[in-house]
Structures are given as structure tokens and as C-alpha cells.
Structure 1
Amino acid sequence: MLPSCRPSSFFAGRLRRAYHDQRWPGWQVVIGIETHAQIKSRQKLFSDSFTSSLGEVPNIHVSPFDAAFPGTLPKLNQECVDLALRTAIALGSNIQPRCSFDRKHYFYSDLPSGYQITQHYAPIALGGGLLIPNRDSPIRIKQIQLEQDTAKSTFEPRTRTSSIDLNRAGTGLLEIVTEPDLRSPEEAGAYVRALQAMLRAIGASDGNMEAGSLRCDVNVSVNPIGQPPGTRCEIKNLNSIKFMQFAIVFEVHRQRALLSQADAVVPQETRGFNQDTLETFKMRSKEEAPDYRYMPDPNLGVLSIAPERIKSTVEIMPELPWVTRIRLLREYELSEQDADILLNLDSGQEHGDGGAVAYFDRLCKDGPSVNPRVVFNWMVHELLGRLHAAKLTFTDNPLSSSQLGELIALVNSAAITGTSGKLLLREMLADSSSALTPTERARSLNLLAASSEQLDVSALCAAAIAALPSEAAAFKKGHKNVLNKILGWVMKESRGRADSQQVRECLISLLH
């Protein structure tokens, strides 16, 4: 059962199933995705070793169990189980009251023990689904399972040697497997983005594909429309949505070419993806369960999930992205585009005591009584625009919501003009360590709006006309737009303190 908070009418747009995709007329594409998400736990799945981050010194987060020393035993990390339960609840999956772990045997240099502990036969959750935009039915989830990650193998072509880094060995993973419900590269990309946002929102994974904490194996098959699905090929270890879509497109054309020539697609083939040529290549024939010699792990008993544990997890579940989107639309009357911008803005990345949406909530609820649209403009267009110009993300934002809220209140109360507010924002970002409040800083910069008695607007306008004689002459000849340049001169000289409407009226009066 999917949560009732996700009605199919929520997403606008027509159902796009891509049965008649113009890129491959007459053919149907069938896609399923296996996603491996690194669990956001400080410790590994079966040991007390810390998980590692990208760029760390190799082999510093390794316990004897991670290195498969004889006699070492696994101990299940319950935090990983709790985050798996959150994921299952968010996807509307059926949590299994009893699940178990299996050993998946294969021999490779990045697997010290010769087997991987996973949940092949009795996963922690079954079923569920995830809605994506422009589609009125969910992408069905087949199962969710816990498993441990392998080590990292690096090949050095010059010396023709391989190095093994065990930092990643044993890190907890969530494997989320879909049914073959996807029908285009775009749907596949939308699914992974939606899954990323959900995992980040509930704190189960940071979903960072560039850092390797979210990887996808994509199963692709092609068949003539009206015929049964063809033989699928699995493309392994895709760590970019863009490359995943390129890989799907190439694989569709490759399989079409084979089928058009009456050649069979190699059964259950596993393929890799070359990011330089944007082509898939054969890795090996796809193994079946007997090839992996699955067996129950004798050192790990049955994991029982009590109903009370599920209930307590439900009670602490954070707001899910689709619920947040509905709330932004209804509570603040934002447009769908603005709501999506907030949801996508450093999605799930922590900033203080929350992400971008939490920052926006605090601005609207604890800040000045201002139209939420005005707050959105200051936060996204002005603040984020300044950060982007400095090549920073919202996560790097040094201003608290109370500081930005006070700035917005100054502009809203006409204590400073909008132009002065932008200047004040720039100064606050340039010297974020200052103890001055926005009001004190505005006073020190002489930005507080001046009354007509304090500021001789007429004199400033006359000086602007004298300083820009060609623009003044052009205005008198009917070129009305040139007035903005003269007005800008006045605003610059007054440091934004003059009222722009009053200045405009004064200039028009003097130029006539």
C-alpha cells in the first residue's frame, strides 16, 4: 500500500509511458533499476569500524572482521536497521516481521571473505512504490534489502598492479529493487531523482552519486510493441543520472540493431559503461542464483522486527518530500515551480538545524509578516544569487534565518530601500563574522532611508541631469527608457536611500 498522502492527482501532466517513443518507433523499452544506497550511519553494517568518506587515506577504517580475519564474527548495526525501516515506511513497503541474511559467494580481490552478506531470500521489506512526475501510477518496488559493500580495487596501468582499499568494505547498503515498470531514460532519471530526495529527507542516505554513495544497476530489454519483453541486459555501477540515461539510450539502439538483424540478445549479459565513448561493453554473462551459491549466514540469526519498533519509527518519521511540496503549495501559496526550487535546493543537505525548506519555514514563521513570495525572492533570487556568484552552495550560506529575516523586515518597513537591502546583503555576506545586527550594520553604512527633508532629492536629480547631458537630451526627444540610467545615477549617489518613485517623478518634472 502506498501512503495516502500521495494521491495520483498530485502530479500534474499527462501519463508518459513512452510506448511509442519517436526515438525507436515500433519498439518498447522495459527498464528496471537496482539502487545501492550507502546508509548514513557512522559505523559499518557488521562491525564497529567507522564508515569512510571520499578522499580519505586508504585502509584506516578497517576492523579484523572487515578484513575477514579468521574467527571474527559479525554484529548487526541496529542504526542501519532503523534507517532501512524508515525507507520501507516512506516507500509504503511491507516490512517483514522476520528477515534473515545470506552469503552470496563469489571470488574477487575486493571481497576479502569470498562472500558478501546480503538478504537474498528473506529481505527486510517487500512491495511499495514511488511516484514520479508526469506519471499517474507509481514505480513499483519489488524489495528492499540490507547488504554490506565491497572494498575498492584500483588498477595502476603503468605498473600493471591493483591496490585494495578496505575502507569501504562492510559499509551498510540499502538495495532497492524496482519492478520493470520504467519505459524511457527520462522516467529512469526521474525515478532516481525522486529516490534521492526521499532518502535524503528521511536521513537514510546522502544520495551523493558523485561520491559513490548511490549507485545504480540498470536492467534494459527491448521488444517489438505487442510482443513479450525481450532478454534483459544489466548495466552495472552507474554513478550519474546523466550517464545512466546515455547508457540506456545506447543499449536500446544496440539491442534494436541485433533484433532487427534476427540476432538474439545474449542471455542475461552483464555490461559496463564507458563514460568517454558513451557506450556499453560486455563484462560477463549474468550469473544466476546457483552460480553465487547462496546460503544462510550461520553467524547471523533471524532478525525479528516487532510491531512496536515499526510504530516508534513511524512516529519519528520526518516530513516526506511529496508532503512538503503539498504544504508549500497550500500553506504559503507558492507556485509549483517555486516549491520545486526549494525542494531541489541542496536537497537534504543539512544547514544548521535543517535544509532549505526549514530555512524558508523559519523566515516565514519567525520573521517579518511579509508575503511568502517576497521572502522566497529574497532567499532564492538575492541570497542564493550572491552565493552562486561566489561559487558557493546554499549549504555554505553563513547567514542565519534571523539575520536575513531582519534584513527583509527593514526593507518591508521602508527603513531601507530595496536597493540598499541588496547592498546590505552583499556586505553581510562579505563579513559574516561581524557581531553587528543588520540594523546596526545598515546604520553604520548610512543606508537607513532618508526623508525628503534629510535628503535633497531635487538637488540630486538636477546634479544627475547635469552629469548625464546626452541622456537628458535623449529623454526630451522621446527616448523614455533612458530615464532609468539617470535614475540609477541618483540612487547610486544616495546609496539607495532615496525613494525611487519620488526620484522618478522629480526627474520627469525637471526634464519637462
Structure 2
Amino acid sequence: MSRWLVDGWQVVIGIETHVQIKSSQKLFSRALTSALNHPPNTRYNAFDAAFPGTLPRLNRKCLDLALRAALALDCSVNQRSSFDRKHYFYSDQPAGYQITQHYSPFAVNGRFTSANIGFPIRIKQIQLEQDTAKSITDTRTRTALIDLNRAGTGLLEIVTEPDFRTSEQAAEYVRSLQELLRALGVSDGNMEAGSLRCDVNVSINRPGEPPGTRCEVKNINSVKFMVAAIEYEIRRQQSILETPGPTQRVSQETRRFDPDSWRTIKMRSKEDAPDYRYMPDPNLGVLVFSEKHIEAVRRTMPPLPASTRLRLLRTYSSSGVTENNIDVLMNLDAVRDITYDGATDSAIGAVAYFELCAEGRDPKSVMNWIIHNFLGQLSALGKPFSSEYITVAQMGQLLDLIITKQMTRPSAKLLLKQMLVSPSDLAVKQLAENMDLLSLADEHSTRSSGDDDSLRDVCKRSIEALPAEIAAIRAGKEKAINKVIGWIMRQTKGKADVDRAKDILKELLHQ
């Protein structure tokens, strides 16, 4: 542990992660969940707004996804658990209380292992609870507006023991947990959209002494901000404790991170459990998970990221696919929900997309094309990865045109961009013909002989246009041919086959 000391202080960090469950309906009502693009106050019903006389009805899908997370985190699932009311009065809490699981959470005593952390992180408990509404403050008019769209959305609160000693360990845990939850289909884990938020508890103490007073930094929605908040808290608490005098004491309080000043700011004194006046919710009975139900959920769980990563490395590393390549796919991947209510999602994740495209083709070439070209084009267009933009069949046809040299890579990039901008049901080769992108000297084309003559003519003109480079080639400077090939590619608008152009050039220069 000594290697983790900061100027002689031991840092103790615990994390509470609030994860929005990937369900189309809220936790205790049939109201639809919302996205950022939904207009304010359009996705709630009477229960979410806390109208008198309304009663909660538990969402079965939220339960099954919560169970997935608990099993993946190696938790003990309590077959009997219950719900409680956590009382506090803020404008974003319509009922004046939040339904949560304080006294009897449904899952406890888990562990999370990440190779990059080096030791298992203990999971104290996982509990189901409902989200609050969203408060929007207008500093100009000094008013606060309330958007009820998020009110009642199902959350998982995943609470760790205070096992972290550095901000880097905390960051690695959140990134790995995010990857796990996406792979399970439990949550999209989008921190920027508020689907995953962290409360970080930080304290420092001298080695051998009891833990110091912890301060909680609330609602952090970025790994970068979380690292900055932890580092600031360490310095702030260290400064207080190293200053002589009667004020040498860290106050227990709740703080927030200010991304503008890059520091934490006090919100209020830290509440303890009695301040929230927890009480059992009288409208919700005991939550019972049978062994049969738990095993049924266990059987539907997709492979966990660690096993998927290991399988991909074993299968494709000998073909030149790197661990970094696999990490890119794993970070993109989000396994779609298994069938619920008779509905399925036709889109597939990035890993499955790669493996289907790689069948019968060189995996390294396929990986490079997907990562450097397909993802690059999507990024330029401001689109996230989705197999629905370019289907596996279309990508396969495009790759085959490149492999068989019916199309050059520059032409294929142009075609890919066109397919993303203007989707079409035509075969990829037909689209290429329509755009006049098929290669010159295409050995698979009925126009092969004529195209070869056309390429030969361009090569002859390059000899006339670039006398200095041609002289250098004849003098034995082989790299000079690259400039000539570049001229040929510009003249043919990228349609010339590079290898064939080099062969024709060498043939002409030796005549």
C-alpha cells in the first residue's frame, strides 16, 4: 500500500454508481422513458408526478436486467428484499421521497475484477431505485424549471466498499463497469447523457490511523471530471489537515464538481441515514426472487466482456489483429436487448459485425477497413456505430470488390461515403458502376482489355509529364516511382490498380 501514499497520506475512495436501466418503461409506472431529444414534460404520467391516490407497479424487465448486473458482479442475490422511502424535499423530487432499497437491497457482497486494477473491488450492495426529475436553473431570471421526463426512471445503485487508493483505479473501475453493463444490455452507460452518474466518497488519513472524514462529490457525469474531482479533494483535504490550528479538521459534507473552475464546491452538510427518515414503502410488498427465476435470467446472459476479449484474441491475433483493435470494437459494442415482449432489435454489435465480415476474408484487412474507414466516415458524419448504416452483406460486397481488385481503396472510400450519405438497395457493385468507380484493368470485367489499354495510355503520359522522376527511376532510385503512381492515380480519379500500373510502367521503361 505504501506505493499509493500521497505525501505521506493514504487516500481512501469509494464509489456509488447510479445506472439508468435500459427499459422502455419506468420502474414503477407504464410511462415511457425519455431521451435527451424529447421535449420537456412529455414522458411522464400521474404516478411519476406524485398525484394523490396513484400506486406503483413494478416493471418486470427492470428486475431481470438488475438481476443480470448482480450475477455478473458475483453478488449474493437476496431472495427476499424490500423497498423503502427516502425522504428529502427538493424541487426535483415530486413526492418528497424517493423509492429505494435502504434496509434490504436485493443484492449484496459482490466483487468486480479488472486486470488493469490488479485486485478485486468489493461490491457492498446493489439496490433498485427510481430517478428524480431534472431541475434546470436559469441564472438570468433566477428561476428553476422542472422537467418530469426522467422522474421515476429505473436506476441501479451499485455501491463499492472504499477499496480504491488512486484516481486512476477509480477511473478504470468506472470504464470497466460501463463496458460490462453495455455488454449485458443493462444500460447504455452514456455518462454525457446522464445514463451513468457517479458519487465519489474521498477521505485521507495517515497510515495506521483510522480513516479520515469522508466528503462526497455528487453526480459526476464524466470519467475525466471524476479524476479531477478526486485529485482536487485530496489536495483540499491535505491542505486543511496540514494547516496548524483549531481548524485542522475536514468537515463531513456533500460537494459538487465545477467543470469551469475544475474544483469541488460545497453543496450542503453531509446527511446521515436518520436525516432521510427511511421507512418501508407501504404500497410495495416484499420482492421475492425464486431460484428458478434467478437461473432463468442467468441462462439468458450474454458472454461477459472478459471472456469475449479473450476469445477474440485467441481466434484472431495470429492473423495480425491486435489487442488495441479488439478494445476499439469492445468499446463500441453494446449487446442489444434479448427479446422482450415479442420485440427484437435487428442491429448487431461491433464485435458480431466484425466476425461476420471476417468469415472467409483476411481478419486483419477487415478489421483495418472497419476501424479506419467505416468508423472514420461515421465520425466525420457525426454518426455513432450501427450495423444498420452499412449491413454486413453490403460491407462484405465492398470488401470483395477491393480484394478482387475490382475497385481501388480510394474509390471504395468514395463509395462508402456515398452509401452512408444516400442509402440504396442496389448491389454494391452496381452502385460502383453507376458512379464509374470500378478499376481500370479489372480482370473480372468484360471491359478488361479496353481498361488495360486506357491504363497503359495514362502510364505513357506520365513518362512524358514527369521526366525528372522517370530519369531518377532509370538511375536506380526506386522510390521515385511513388510520385509517378500518385500522378497516375490523380489522372484516373483513383481507379487505377496500383500494382498493375507499376507493372506497366516498368514494362514501358525497359522497352
Give the conservation status (yes or no) of the 8 Å contact 1:20–1:28: no
Alignment match, 1:483 = 481
How far apart, CA to CA, are the structure 1 residues paired with 2:378 and 2:463? 36
Alignment match, 2:342 = none
Q: 1:110-125 alignment to 2 at 5 Å?
A: 110-125=92-107
Deviates more, 1:478-487 or 1:247-256: 478-487
Alignment match, 1:461 = 459
How far apart, CA to CA, are the structure 1 residues paired with 2:231 and 2:44? 40
Question: Could you say what secondary structure the match of 1:127 adopts?
Answer: strand
- Give the letter aligned to residue 209 of structure 1: M
1:428 is aligned to 2:419: yes
The alpha carbon displacement at 1:509 in A equals: 5.2
Alignment match, 1:7 = none
Alignment match, 1:440 = 430
The count of aligned residue pairs is: 490
Q: 1:285-296 alignment to 2 at 5 Å?
A: 285-296=269-280
Alignment match, 1:183 = 165
- Name structure 2 gaps, 5 residues minimum: 338-344
Question: Could you say what secondary structure the match of 1:377 adopts?
Answer: helix
Q: 1:145-156 alignment to 2 at 5 Å?
A: 145-156=127-138
- Give the letter aligned to residue 179 of structure 1: E
The alpha carbon displacement at 1:403 in A equals: 0.6
Give the conservation status (yes or no) of the 8 Å contact 2:80–2:286: yes
Change (3 A) 1:239 1:423: closer
Q: 1:262-411 alignment to 2 at 5 Å?
A: 262=244, 263-333=247-317, 334-345=321-332, 347=334, 352-365=346-359, 369-395=360-386, 398-411=389-402
Alignment match, 1:14 = none
1:251 is aligned to 2:209: no
How far apart, CA to CA, are the structure 2 residues paired with 1:153 and 1:429? 38
1:196 is aligned to 2:196: no
Deviates more, 1:344-353 or 1:238-247: 344-353
How far apart, CA to CA, are the structure 2 residues paired with 1:95 and 1:285? 34
Deviates more, 1:80-89 or 1:67-76: 67-76
Deviates more, 1:146-155 or 1:114-123: 146-155
Alignment match, 1:413 = 404
- Give the letter aligned to residue 243 of structure 1: F
How far apart, CA to CA, are the structure 1 residues paired with 2:322 and 2:396? 21
**C-alpha RMSD of the superposition:** 2.4
Give the conservation status (yes or no) of the 8 Å contact 1:223–1:230: yes
How far apart, CA to CA, are the structure 2 residues paired with 1:108 and 1:245? 28
Question: Could you say what secondary structure the match of 1:35 adopts?
Answer: strand
How far apart, CA to CA, are the structure 2 residues paired with 1:492 and 1:285? 68
How far apart, CA to CA, are the structure 1 residues paired with 2:408 and 2:196? 46
Change (3 A) 1:423 1:21: same
Alignment match, 2:216 = 234
Deviates more, 1:273-282 or 1:385-394: 385-394
1:139 is aligned to 2:121: yes
The alpha carbon displacement at 1:166 in A equals: 2.0
- Give the letter aligned to residue 360 of structure 1: F
What whole-Å deviation, never above 9, does each CA across 1:177-221 have from its counterpart, x for those lacking one? 011111211111111111111111212111111111211100011
Deviates more, 1:279-288 or 1:161-170: 161-170
The alpha carbon displacement at 1:499 in A equals: 4.1
- Give the letter aligned to residue 436 of structure 1: L
- Give the letter aligned to residue 425 of structure 1: L
Could you state the TM-score of these two structures normalised by the residue count of structure 1?
0.89
Give the conservation status (yes or no) of the 8 Å contact 2:117–2:172: no
Deviates more, 1:103-112 or 1:91-100: 103-112
Alignment match, 1:4 = none
Give the conservation status (yes or no) of the 8 Å contact 1:346–1:395: no
Change (3 A) 1:439 1:25: same
How far apart, CA to CA, are the structure 1 residues paired with 2:491 and 2:143? 67
How far apart, CA to CA, are the structure 2 residues paired with 1:332 and 1:254? 48
How far apart, CA to CA, are the structure 2 residues paired with 1:131 and 1:235? 24
Deviates more, 1:330-339 or 1:297-306: 330-339
Deviates more, 1:256-265 or 1:489-498: 489-498
1:42 to 24, 33, 42: 24
How far apart, CA to CA, are the structure 1 residues paired with 2:69 and 2:408? 47
How far apart, CA to CA, are the structure 2 residues paired with 1:453 and 1:70? 82
Give the conservation status (yes or no) of the 8 Å contact 2:215–2:254: yes
Give the conservation status (yes or no) of the 8 Å contact 2:348–2:387: no
The alpha carbon displacement at 1:422 in A equals: 3.7
Alignment match, 2:3 = 20
What whole-Å deviation, never above 9, does each CA across 1:75-109 have from its counterpart, x for those lacking one? 11121111110111111111110000011112222
The alpha carbon displacement at 1:474 in A equals: 4.4
Q: Percent identity?
A: 54
Change (3 A) 1:297 1:492: same
Question: Could you say what secondary structure the match of 1:128 adopts?
Answer: strand
2:469 to 459, 471, 486: 471
How far apart, CA to CA, are the structure 1 residues paired with 2:496 and 2:98? 70
How far apart, CA to CA, are the structure 1 residues paired with 2:184 and 2:483? 50
Question: Could you say what secondary structure the match of 2:367 adopts?
Answer: helix
- Give the letter aligned to residue 3 of structure 2: H
How far apart, CA to CA, are the structure 2 residues paired with 1:161 and 1:499? 65
Give the conservation status (yes or no) of the 8 Å contact 1:450–1:498: no
What whole-Å deviation, never above 9, does each CA across 1:302-340 have from its counterpart, x for those lacking one? 111001111110111122211211121122233211110
How far apart, CA to CA, are the structure 2 residues paired with 1:193 and 1:75? 33
What whole-Å deviation, never above 9, does each CA across 1:147-172 have from its counterpart, x for those lacking one? 11112222222332222222222111
Change (3 A) 1:190 1:299: same
How far apart, CA to CA, are the structure 1 residues paired with 2:108 and 2:157? 12
- Name structure 1 gaps, 5 residues minimum: 1-16
Give the conservation status (yes or no) of the 8 Å contact 1:206–1:348: no
- Give the letter aligned to residue 101 of structure 2: Q
How far apart, CA to CA, are the structure 1 residues paired with 2:198 and 2:301? 26
